[in-house]
Amino acid sequence: MYGIVALEDGTVFEGESFGAAGESVGEVVFNTSMTGYQEVLTDPSYSSQIITMTYPLIGNYGVNEKDVESTRIQVAGFVVKEACPYPSNFASHTSLGEYLRKAGIVGVSGIDTRALTRHIRLAGAMKAVIYAGPHCKPDDLVDKAKAWKGLVGIDMVKNVTCQESYRWDESRDPVEGFEKKYSVVAYDFGIKHNILRILRRLGCDLTVVPASTSAQEVLSLNPDGVFLSNGPGDPAGVPYAVEAIKGLMGKKPMFGICLGHQLLSLALGGSTYKLKFGHRGANHPVKNLLNDEIAITSQNHGFCASMDSLQGCGVRVTHLNLNDNTVEGIGDFEQGLFSVQYHPEASPGPHDSAYLFENFVRMIAENAQ
């Protein structure tokens, strides 16, 4: 079956379908990870994005029931050079193509992903339509891409957050010998399951709350700490979350990741901006300015906190991206808060920055004394 990716600037890439038939509009971006495609597909931070994998062969180890970061596939579409139809792995229960078909997600293979990635790097991430079905007029798809509203200034979090609070407990995540040490409220801006798994294994009793939860509602739960999760889109489109964070700063120890980091930056008085093509992959070098150590990190974001805007906000820039010198972490340790732009919970990896969760729990312990 025919497949096509049509960009708003008129560039068209033709291939063949290996997922569901249909069409979807979104922002076309690229990810440089060699593995972890199932985690990518189910990461809520990728909502409304058409993902291009730069690694040429995708799907060779199939799909299993455990390597998911949410309850469903979140991406708008999936683009690869070659999709493996016959996976080989002891844990695999289906192929990548069948996984996409059952979820109704369009996948296109046979695309020159090197050319598409280079185009995005030069021209920037842009609006696009991914289509699978009978042959059609590419110009019609280009027009649909142009007409899409895009992500800037739009609240994408409302599409992925939970509708009501819930406990991440034994029924969801069995942990042998679990011993509650602290209670943590986790804001769900598009939270990944592995974040919750790690915090629970560190002894945190977790209550996950919707993105619209007010500071007063969180404080009424009297948690020992507050976690600000990852999520999709433009942080400027989620002003209600910024207001809630302002009401919690200095009252409870706080740790943010990805979108949570950007929202915390806004709450502190900083600003954010859209990167040309974003950071997405599992090989981004980040320098810890507190100890001069360098970690290889997993990243997935299209917006970034402004370095200049954070000057005078009473916050310290703690981490720096060594590829482009953008902000990767901030901290105000007097108020008991810190955040990072990258993903220390990364699954399948790397795990260089997993210590940040331990730092959060240590901060909670010190605050409780």
pLDDT in tens, 214-241: 999 999 999 999 999 999 999 999 999 9
The β-bridge partners of 94 are 63
**CB proximity list for 328: less than 8 A, separation 6 or greater:** 286, 297, 319, 320, 321, 340, 341, 342
Q: ω into residue 210 within 30 of 0, thus cis? A: no
Q: pLDDT (tens digit, 9 = 90+) per residue, 248-275?
A: 999 999 999 999 999 999 999 999 999 9
Return all residues near 366 (Cβ < 8 A) that are at least 6 apart. Answer: none
Query: DSSP class of residue 94?
Result: B
Q: How far apart are CA 163 and CA 343, in angstroms?
A: 24
pLDDT along the chain (369 residues), means of 10: 97 97 98 97 98 98 96 98 96 97 98 98 98 95 97 97 96 90 98 97 97 98 98 98 98 98 98 98 97 97 97 95 98 96 94 96 92
Q: For residues 50 and 154, what is the distance between their CA atoms, to the nearest angstrom?
A: 17
**To the nearest 10°, the Cα dihedral for 52, 92, 200, 352?**
-50
Q: Where do the structural domains in the chain lie, given as residue ranges?
A: 2-147, 157-368
Instruction: Kindly report the CATH number that applies to the domain delimited by 157-368.
Output: 3.40.50.880
pLDDT of residue 17: 97
DSSP letter assigned to residue 172: T
pLDDT of the residue at 176: 86
Active site residues: 258, 343, 345
| Two tokens, residue 187 | 């804001």
Fold of 2-147: Glucose Oxidase; domain 1 (3.50.30)
